[in-house]
Amino acid sequence: MAFQLAFKDPNWLGPENAGGGNKPFGALTIAVGNGGQSATITEGPGLLGVGKPLRRKEGGQTNDGGERLVFADDAGDREVVLCKRPAARKNNSEPEVEYSADVYLRGSKVVAARQQLGPGAPTATW
């Protein structure tokens, strides 16, 4: 299992002095590798620890039948929660998929990113 999730204009929820206040920023990219056991933020604000590895902490199902992966650093200061879930269907077409990434620093959510992919779009295999 290796994949990369890229989000355009995710919301920065962190402190105002770090550009916070629920404002979108350029991009957030997260690479998952090592058989799903590690993740790295490869693009985003430096405060998120870009390039520093995270280890898989847990995984499982979401309440709505989706899948969830949680990664954290060894100190517990940074945590990334990735989810893949079915999105709302439009006109009885193929089901769409929604990916989300939430990034936490010291227990506070600082980034919320969402992206829906339509029918036929490539999806990450977990």
| DSSP code for 92 | T
* Structure confidence by residue, pLDDT tens digits, 82-94: 999 887 666 656 5
- The pTM for the full model equals 0.83
* Structure confidence by residue, pLDDT tens digits, 37-73: 999 999 998 889 999 999 999 999 988 889 999 999 9
| DSSP code for 120 | T
Contact by Cβ (8 Å): 1, 35: yes
**Residues written for the chain:** 126
